[in-house]
């Protein structure tokens, strides 16, 4: 019989939708009861939705990177006769647990979340735990999908799998049974796993996520060095809901593939190609820090029609930048090392508590990711504290409506870089705010962006 | 920068360090009047005099013990042991003296001496003059062990070794003495314990020291022709090992080949393999491949000797096996 | 060079021999009571050599010792309490309990150090002498070694080099007639090993190793020669150990009469006879009493000293911390 696979009801207090992160099965594929079908993200955490019964996977109705409302139908499953478990699937009760954990004392929930991935070693699939968070959370309580399926696999002798493949499968929630080993050794290797989503995206391979709907031209948000899509969540809560938000992960950040980058122009080219491949040829751009420099170059490039440009503490308007911060942040390999750098990002250091620091470190747990970012920093920031591009002329060559929003207490890039331009970009200098205005003054920044976007439409 | 031979770079390092510190002195067989059988100490007797550059009788066991105790009492000896094959004579001084004193005497003494030797096969020198005993030496606590693979590192590492507060065994290679390459002028020092990526690649990591680095680079060329991108890491220090460099490379390529000219069983490559297992297990997409000498004496006749030595072909084959 | 040293010096040597003897006896008792760890190599009967020879040295002269070195330690001025603490594995020992009785060192007094590898003291002292020569220091290195060690390759190599380079080293051969359980006649066809000096071009002398004064005078002369740049000397001091090769010795290889004969010539007794006229018996007995008390106090204190905490040796890095 045909079963609806739905979005669980308690994905978190402040969200009425989830984002589909990854489908773990394809239409027509046989599935077992308890096998993870799809991973979705809520405001607080990420959830595996498992098959309530064995059978064959049916139509997938909501594609990856898209939102679905709570209770909405994500897909259908043709269940085996007599094999149907209760529709309140184990996944749903896990979601309840996850939700409760997260909505309970934030510290407790986040601590559990932070503790869990030490075992799973999975920096992927994370979400901010609360409006306060500046970094990622890890999976809360979700059982290791590989273990779950191994438990239900037929006892047919141990499968030889390379450690790297095993780790990747675990991180991506892949079932290894049925995977064929191409190596003459009979050992399953990385190349035998189904391609990672990042690699399967057309052309550019940058990870992209859409939120919300509406008829207006989408606003594309580009994060800064060391950041990712998740960092926009607090801001999105305050934005007008009349148009979609598109969040991008820069190369070697978040879920985007690692890529060797020689210049900010390279980054801009990647972003433009991604947008174009997704049919996003007319957009508003919002860029933070390094993402601001990227946004300026994309706007100037002309291949994408940029309707308005909001720059939050952008890089590229001046030569001096806090190089010690860039290096220190990129290198920090544990919470103790990362915390002082997080505190340097904001004006009120009280905003960075142990929970947030732990979650932020979790998002950077992968040493290969950190190394890729360090390599990028070396390529982009030649010398200790200078930027290779002076984008002032680029900015002044643009003609779409633009705003520069900066915290007066920014210790990473001095707000004074915004001075001495041509007067065509509005400068909003926020008192008591550091380098991340979208976090420290989310409401104000959202209002300014709404105003800019309205004026440009 | 100057183009010079590996042996000349060593000579420059010795000259500069002896000029810099009057407590540095050299001793060993045939090093003074003759300038050393590989000419590494050429001209130093004339420049620094017989008190500080001494020819010795054939007494490796005693000379090594003397290096230990001289270093303990205010001087910085640099002892040349002509062939690594004579290292067994030296092992008592290293294992029972140099290795233990700093710890068992609770830090009362330091022993800043350098023991230079050369090893390796390929020159038709026969079974008793062609060995690499890296594993035996790197096994010993309390020592540092380095092996330069090019003239610049020869100079930089020797200077670092002489300045180090701990005993350093400095492993040269008989087939590298004539290698010619650019060497920085002046006081050029290479930090001990830091590896160097000499060729970047993405598919497989080749780890080696000394002449095997040259073979790895040749192997990388062979592999490149087949579309395989090999990364070559020159470890430079056998002890302490640059763990970060190893982890970084394996995390990148997921495949590792470890190469050492010593015997395979319980050899240095076995330690590298265990280290990768300890620290980068989850990054491995295949078992670590070891390329080493078979467990036998080095034969004399050219085809026989060439058959036992690790070379580019064997290294490339190991890489292919890992990638299969 | 055969001026008699001052009475004070002779009394001090006498006292040190007694300190050494009482230390050895205490260790024997502790061993019987099951309180020692590992075999202890007592030097009862040989004290005159270690005490007499070291009395000719300054504080900055260096000494390398053997596995049977307690007389060398005391002679170089090490404190009994800290020697005992080291032997008992305590934190207050000279090496914080890490070395044990055979490997004691005190770098501040040039005792670097005890060595359990037979013969290793010889090249060690030779190397130190080379170091002094290169630095232009006026210090002298003295090694103690036994008749067993005299057969090692490193002994021959060292003497050859020392003579060749005229190194300021004194070779003190404590000939106690046994290498572990093998009588000297099973280890060399030469009765008097000092003849080997001629083979290297080293001046050599043979002395009665149980006569502390004779040892002192020979040593003082050798030290003078070395300090003046005259090179090494080989001093063969004949003596005997009356308490076996170590506390694990099960005996049976030393002839009882031989032992008895040597006990008659106990170095402390010989010294007593030499001094009693000049110093008076009462004074000598007082020295004995005080030394005995000093050792008892040292032992009691050491036994109540704390054990050390384990720390991994940071100097043997397998992996660098270089980023």
Q: What is the pLDDT of residue A88?
A: 37
Per-residue pLDDT tens for B91-126? Answer: 999 999 999 999 999 999 999 999 999 999 999 999
Q: Do C106 and B59 touch (CB under 8 A)?
A: no
> What is residue A222's DSSP assignment?
E
Q: What average pLDDT does this structure show over C266-279? A: 96
Percent of chain A with pLDDT over 90: 35
Tell me the pLDDT tens digit for each residue of C85-111. 999 999 999 999 999 999 999 999 999
Q: Does domain B196-323 have CATH number 3.40.50.920?
A: yes
pLDDT (tens digit, 9 = 90+) per residue, C13-45?
Answer: 999 999 999 999 999 999 999 999 999 999 999
Query: For residue A114, is pLDDT > 80?
Result: no
Q: Which residue of A has its CA nearest to B249?
A: A368
Question: Who has greater pLDDT, B30 or A154?
Answer: B30
DSSP for C276-321 reads HHHH-HHHHHHHHHHHHHHHHHHHHHHHTSPPPPP---TT--SB--
Dihedral angle computed from the Cα positions of residues A299, A305, A308 and A309, in that order, rounded to the nearest 10 degrees? -20
Torsion, Cα C96 C99 C102 C107, to 10 degrees, reads -70
- Homologous superfamily, domain A208-456: Alpha/Beta hydrolase fold, catalytic domain (3.40.50.1820)
Partners of residue A119 in chain B, C-beta under 8 Å: none
In chain A, domain spans = 2-196, 208-456
pLDDT above 80 (res C82): yes
Q: How confident is the model at residue C175 (pLDDT cuts 50, 70, 90)?
A: very high
Name the most confidently modeled range: A336-340, A437-441, C2-6: A437-441
SS3 assignment, position C11: helix
pLDDT at residue A205, as a whole number? 72
**Cα separations in angstroms, A334 against A43, A350, A364:** 25, 20, 9
CA–CA distance, A317 with A296 (Å, rounded to integer): 10
Return d(Cα A425, Cα A311) in angstroms, integer. Answer: 10
Residue C25, judged by CB atoms within 10 A of its CB (0-12, 13-18, 19+), counts as middle
Tell me what pLDDT residue A10 has.
53
CA distance A121 to A115: 10
Show Cβ contacts of residue A344 under 8 Å, excluding neighbours closer than 6 positions: A322, A325, A411, A412, A434, A435
- The residue to which tokens 């979601």 are assigned: A95
A337-359 tens-digit pLDDT: 999 999 999 999 999 988 888 88
Pairing relation of β-strands B237-239 and B144-146? antiparallel
- Distances in Å between the alpha carbon of C112 and those of B70, C73, C94, C122, C128? 11, 10, 11, 12, 10
B129 is a catalytic site residue: yes
B247 interaction partners in chain A (CB closer than 8 Å): 367
Q: Is the pLDDT of residue A45 over 70?
A: no
Cis ω for the linkage preceding B240 (within 30 of 0): yes
Interface contact flag, B69 C128, Cβ < 8 Å:
yes
Chain C residues with beta carbon closer than 8 angstroms to that of B243? 319-320
Nearest C-alpha neighbor of B131 from the set B302, B6, B295, B318: B295
pLDDT of residue C322: 53
pLDDT in tens, A167-177: 988 888 888 88
Q: Which CATH number fits domain A2-196: 3.20.10.10, 3.40.50.1010, 2.40.50.100, 3.90.650.10?
A: 2.40.50.100
pLDDT band at A382 (very low <50, low <70, confident <90, very high): low
Taking CB atoms and an 8 Å limit, are C130 and B70 in contact across chains? yes
Helix pair angle (C47-54, C267-279), 10° resolution: 60
B126: left (phi over 0), alpha (psi -120 to 50) or beta: left
pLDDT at A124 over 60: no
Largest CA-CA distance found in chain B, in angstroms, rounded: 60
Q: Which of B60, B80, B172, B261 is catalytic?
A: B60
Tokens of residue B62, six digits: 């005693």
Closest CA to A376 of B91, A368, B272: A368
Annotation: CATH topology of C7-245+257-301: Rossmann fold (3.40.50)
Q: Which residue of C has its CA nearest to B195?
A: C322
Residue B129 CB coordination number (10 Å): 19
Is the CB of residue C241 less than 8 Å from the CB of residue C48?
A: no
What architecture does CATH give domain B2-183? 3-Layer(aba) Sandwich (3.40)
Give the integer Cα–Cα distance in Å for B77 and B82: 16
Which of B208, B226, B284 lies closest to B217 in space, CA to CA? B208
> For the purposes of burial, counting CB atoms within 10 Å of the CB of A86, is it exposed (0-12), middle (13-18) or buried (19 or more)?
exposed
| Torsion B19-B20-B22-B25 (CA) sign | negative
Distances (CA, A) of C35 to C44, C242, C309: 20, 22, 20
B304 compared with A131, residue with greater pLDDT: B304
Has residue A96 got a pLDDT over 70? no
Measured between beta carbons, the chain C residues lying within 8 angstroms of B68 are 124, 127
Contact at CB, A189 and B283, closer than 8 angstroms? no
Out of A44-58, A316-330, B76-90, C64-78, pick the least confident: A44-58
Q: Is the Cα dihedral A385, A389, A393, A395 positive or negative? A: negative
> Would you tell me which residues 370-409 of chain A have a C-beta closer than 8 angstroms to some C-beta of chain B?
371
pLDDT digits (tens, 9 = 90+) for A146-157: 333 333 333 346
Mean pLDDT (whole number) for B299-319: 95
Q: Which residue of A has its CA nearest to B286?
A: A162
Inform me whether the C-beta atom of residue A163 falls under 8 Å from chain B C-beta atoms: yes
What's the rounded mean pLDDT across residues B21-44? Answer: 96
Measured CA to CA in angstroms, residue C226 lies from A429, B29, C121, C219 at distances of 83, 26, 18, 10
Gap between the Cα atoms of A324 and A60, Å rounded: 47
From chain A, pick out residues whose CB is under 8 angstroms from the CB of B252.
368
pLDDT value for A204? 52
Phi, psi of B315 (to 5 degrees): -65, -45
Contact C126 B62 (CB under 8 A): yes
| Confidence category of residue A383, pLDDT binned at 50, 70, 90 | low
- For chains B and C, CB pairs below 8 A equal 157
Whole-angstrom distance, CA of residue A49 vs CA of residue C209 = 91
User: Is a pLDDT exceeding 60 seen at residue B173?
Assistant: yes
Average pLDDT, chain A: 78
**HSE-up (13 A, CA, CB side) for residue A51:** 32
For residue A166, the chain B residues in CB contact (below 8 A) are 282
Cβ of B142 within 8 Å of Cβ of C106? The answer is no
State the pLDDT at residue A18: 83
Least confident residue range of A14-28, B61-75, B163-177, C221-235: A14-28
Cβ neighbours for C170, distance < 8 A, ≥ 6 positions apart: C53, C125, C140, C141, C142, C143, C219, C222, C223, C226, C232, C233, C235
More confidently predicted of A10 and C140: C140
> Of B59, B71, B106, which is closest to C161 when you measure between CB atoms?
B59
Q: At A238, phi and psi to the nearest 5?
A: -100, -10
How confident is the model at residue A113, as a pLDDT? 34
Q: Which chain A residues are Cβ-neighbours of B285 within 8 angstroms?
A: 162-165, 189-190
Sheet harboring B289-293: ordered strands across?
Answer: B196-199, B230-234, B204-208, B256-263, B289-293
**Predicted local distance difference test score (pLDDT) of residue C58:** 97
- From residue A156, how far is each of A150, A152, A159, A179, C267 by CA, in Å? 11, 11, 9, 14, 83
Average pLDDT for C187-208: 95
3-class DSSP state for residue A305?
A: strand
Strand partners, B144: B168
Per-residue pLDDT, A126: 34
Are residues B41 and B14 in contact, defined by beta-carbon separation less than 8 angstroms? yes
The answer on pLDDT for A199 being more than 70 is no
Q: What is the 3-state composition of chain A as percent helix, strand, coil, each rounded to the nearest 5? A: 35, 20, 45
Residue ranges per domain, chain C? Answer: 7-245+257-301
- Sorted by where each begins, the domain ranges of chain B are 2-183, 196-323
Helices assigned H by DSSP within B182-267 = 211-225, 243-253
Residue A350 backbone phi and psi in degrees, to 5: -65, -20
pLDDT at residue A201 in the model: 41
Mean pLDDT, chain C, whole residue set? 94
Task: Give the number of other CB atoms < 10 A from CB of residue A395.
Answer: 26
Using an 8 Å Cβ cutoff, are C5 and C216 in contact?
Answer: yes
Q: Report the pLDDT value the prediction gives residue A457, as an integer from 0 to 100.
A: 77
Name the neighbours of C, counting chains with at least 3 Cβ pairs within 8 A.
B
Closest CA to C286 of C14, C6, C4, C9: C14
Confidence category of residue A9, pLDDT binned at 50, 70, 90: low
Backbone angles phi, psi at B161, to 5 degrees: -65, -45
Of B93, B109, B242, the CB nearest to C107: B109
Q: Is B324 on the interface with A (CB under 8 A)?
A: yes
Q: Which of B129, B173, B254, B255 is catalytic?
A: B129
Answer yes or no: do B324 and A162 touch at CB < 8 A: no
Range in A52-61, A141-150, B58-67, C7-16 the model is least confident about: A141-150
Answer whether B194 sits within 8 Å of C322, measured CB to CB.
yes
d(CA C264, CA C254): 16
- For residue B180, the SS3 value is strand
Residue B79 is classified by DSSP as E
Q: How confident is the model at residue A89 (pLDDT cuts 50, 70, 90)?
A: very low
Average pLDDT rounded to a whole number, residues B185-195? 95
Handedness of CA B172, B176, B177, B181 (dihedral sign): negative
Binned at pLDDT 50, 70 and 90, residue A387 comes out as low
Mean pLDDT (whole number) for B276-281: 94
Query: Taking 60 as the threshold, does the pLDDT of residue A116 lie above it?
Result: no
CB A294 within 8 A of CB A269: no
- Cα(C68)–Cα(C78) distance, integer angstroms: 15
Q: What count of CB pairs under 8 Å joins A to B? A: 36
CA gap A228, A363 in Å, rounded:
9
Whether the bond between C113 and the residue before it is cis, its omega within 30 degrees of 0, is yes
pLDDT score recorded for residue A131: 34
Please tell me the predicted confidence (pLDDT) of residue A146.
34
Please name the residues in contact with B197: beta carbons below 8 A apart, sequence gap of 6 or more: B231, B232, B233, B234, B245, B249
Question: Of A121, A146, A162, A369, which to mutate for an interface test with B (greatest number of B Cβ within 10 Å)?
Answer: A162
Rounded alpha-carbon distances, angstroms, from residue A392 to A317, A326, A422, A431, B124: 5, 22, 9, 24, 67
What are chain A's partners, defined as 3 or more CB pairs within 8 angstroms? Answer: B
Which pLDDT value is given to residue C208? 97
B104/C98 touch (CB, cutoff 8 Å), yes or no? yes
C-beta separation of A309 from A301 below 8 A: no
What does the angle CA B155 – CA B158 – CA B163 come to, to the nearest 5 degrees?
125
């Amino acid at each position: 019989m045909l079963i609806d696979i739905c979005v669980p009801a308690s994905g978190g207090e402040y969200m009425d939708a989830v984002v589909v992160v990854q489908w773990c099965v394809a239409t027509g594929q046989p599935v077992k009861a308890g096998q993870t079908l799809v991973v979705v993200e809520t405001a607080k955490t990420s959830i595996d939705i498992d098959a309530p019964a064995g059978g064959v996977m049916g139509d997938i109705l909501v594609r990856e990177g898209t939102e679905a409302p709570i209770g909405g139908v994500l897909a259908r499953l043709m269940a085996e006769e007599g094999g149907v478990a209760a529709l309140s699937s184990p996944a749903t009760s896990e979601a309840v647990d996850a939700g409760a954990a997260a909505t309970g004392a934030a510290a407790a929930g986040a601590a559990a979340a932070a503790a869990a991935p030490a075992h799973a070693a999975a920096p992927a699939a994370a979400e901010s735990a609360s409006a306060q968070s500046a970094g990622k959370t890890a999976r809360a309580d979700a059982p290791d999908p590989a273990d779950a399926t191994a438990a239900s696999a037929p006892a047919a002798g141990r499968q030889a799998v390379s450690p790297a493949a095993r780790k990747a499968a675990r991180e991506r929630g892949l079932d290894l049974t049925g995977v064929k080993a191409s190596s003459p050794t009979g050992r399953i290797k990385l190349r035998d796993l189904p391609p990672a989503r990042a690699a399967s995206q057309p052309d550019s391979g940058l990870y992209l996520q859409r939120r919300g709907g509406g008829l207006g031209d989408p606003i594309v948000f580009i994060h800064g060095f060391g950041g990712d899509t998740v960092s926009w969540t607090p801001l999105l809560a305050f934005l007008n809901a009349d148009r979609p938000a598109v969040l991008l992960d820069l190369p070697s950040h978040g879920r985007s593939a690692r890529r060797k980058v020689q210049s900010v122009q390279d980054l801009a080219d990647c972003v433009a190609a991604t947008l174009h491949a997704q049919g996003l040829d007319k957009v508003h751009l919002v860029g933070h820090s390094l993402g601001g420099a990227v946004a300026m170059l994309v706007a100037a490039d002309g291949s994408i029609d940029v309707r308005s440009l909001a720059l939050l503490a952008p890089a590229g308007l001046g030569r001096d930048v806090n190089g010690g911060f860039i290096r220190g942040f990129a290198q920090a390999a544990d919470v103790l090392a990362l915390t002082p750098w997080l505190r340097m990002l904001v004006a009120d250091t009280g905003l960075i508590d142990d929970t947030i620091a732990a979650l932020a470190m979790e998002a950077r747990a992968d040493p290969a990711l950190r190394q890729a970012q360090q390599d990028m920093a070396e390529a982009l920031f030649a010398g200790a504290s200078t930027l290779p591009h002076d984008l002032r002329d680029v900015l002044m060559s643009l003609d779409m409506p633009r705003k520069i929003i900066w915290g007066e207490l920014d210790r990473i890039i001095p707000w004074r870089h915004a001075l001495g331009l041509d007067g065509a970009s509005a400068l909003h200098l926020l008192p008591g705010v550091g380098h991340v205005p979208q976090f420290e003054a989310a409401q104000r920044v959202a209002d300014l962006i709404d105003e800019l976007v309205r004026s440009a439409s | 920068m100057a183009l010079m031979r590996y042996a000349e770079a060593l000579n420059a390092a010795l000259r500069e360090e002896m000029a810099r510190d009057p407590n540095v002195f050299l001793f060993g067989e045939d090093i003074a009047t003759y300038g050393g059988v590989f000419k590494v100490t050429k001209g130093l007797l004339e420049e620094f005099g017989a008190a500080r550059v001494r020819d010795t009788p054939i007494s490796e066991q005693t000379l090594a013990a003397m290096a230990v105790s001289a270093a303990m009492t205010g001087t910085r000896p640099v002892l040349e042991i002509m062939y690594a094959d004579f290292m067994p004579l030296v092992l008592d001084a290293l294992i029972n003296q140099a290795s233990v004193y700093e710890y068992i005497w609770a830090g009362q003494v330091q022993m800043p001496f350098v023991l230079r030797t050369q090893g390796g096969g390929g020159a038709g020198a026969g079974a008793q003059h062609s060995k690499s005993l890296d594993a035996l030496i790197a096994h010993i606590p309390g020592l540092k062990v380095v092996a330069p693979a090019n003239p610049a590192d020869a100079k930089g590492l020797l200077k670092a070794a002489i300045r180090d507060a701990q005993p350093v065994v400095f492993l040269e290679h008989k087939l590298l003495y004539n290698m010619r390459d650019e060497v920085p002028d002046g006081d050029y020092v290479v930090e001990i314990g830091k590896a160097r990526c000499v060729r970047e690649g993405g598919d497989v990591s080749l780890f080696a020291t000394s002449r095997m680095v040259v073979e790895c680079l040749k192997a990388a060329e062979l592999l490149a022709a087949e579309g395989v991108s090999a990364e070559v890491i020159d470890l430079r220090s056998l002890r302490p090992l640059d763990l970060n460099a190893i982890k970084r490379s394996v995390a990148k390529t997921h495949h590792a080949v470890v190469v050492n000219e010593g015997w395979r069983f319980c050899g240095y490559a076995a330690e590298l393999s265990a280290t990768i297992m300890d620290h980068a297990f989850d990054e491995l997409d295949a078992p670590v491949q070891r390329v080493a000498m078979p467990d036998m004496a080095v034969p004399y006749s050219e085809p026989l000797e060439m058959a036992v030595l690790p070379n580019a072909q064997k290294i490339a084959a190991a890489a292919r096996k890992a990638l299969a | 060079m055969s001026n008699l040293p001052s009475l004070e010096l002779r009394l001090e040597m006498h006292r040190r021999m007694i300190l050494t003897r009482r230390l050895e006896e205490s260790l024997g008792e502790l061993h019987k009571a099951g309180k020692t760890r590992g075999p202890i190599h007592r030097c009862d009967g040989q004290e005159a050599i270690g005490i007499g020879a070291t009395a000719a040295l300054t504080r900055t002269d260096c000494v390398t010792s053997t596995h049977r070195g307690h007389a060398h330690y005391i002679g170089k001025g090490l404190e009994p309490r800290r020697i005992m603490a080291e032997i008992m594995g305590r934190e207050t020992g000279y090496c914080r309990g890490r070395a044990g009785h055979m490997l004691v060192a005190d770098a501040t007094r040039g005792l670097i150090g005890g060595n359990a590898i037979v013969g290793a003291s010889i090249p060690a002292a030779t190397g130190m002498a080379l170091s002094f020569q290169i630095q232009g220091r006026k210090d002298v290195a003295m090694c103690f070694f036994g008749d067993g060690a005299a057969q090692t390759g490193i002994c021959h190599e060292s003497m050859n080099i020392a003579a060749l380079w005229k190194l300021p080293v004194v070779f003190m051969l404590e000939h106690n007639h046994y290498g572990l359980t093998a009588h000297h006649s099973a280890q060399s066809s030469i009765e008097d090993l000092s003849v080997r000096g001629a083979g290297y071009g080293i001046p050599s002398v043979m002395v009665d190793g149980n006569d502390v004064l004779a040892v002192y005078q020979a040593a003082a002369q050798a030290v003078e020669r070395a300090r003046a740049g005259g090179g090494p000397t080989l001093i063969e001091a004949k003596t005997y150990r009356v308490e076996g090769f170590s506390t694990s010795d099960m005996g049976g290889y030393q002839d009882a009469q031989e032992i008895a004969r040597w006990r008659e010539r106990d170095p402390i007794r010989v010294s007593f006879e030499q001094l009693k006229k000049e110093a008076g018996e009462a004074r000598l007995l007082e020295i004995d009493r005080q030394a005995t008390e000093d050792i008892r106090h040292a032992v009691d204190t050491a036994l109540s000293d704390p054990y050390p905490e384990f720390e991994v040796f940071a100097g043997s890095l397998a992996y660098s911390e270089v980023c």
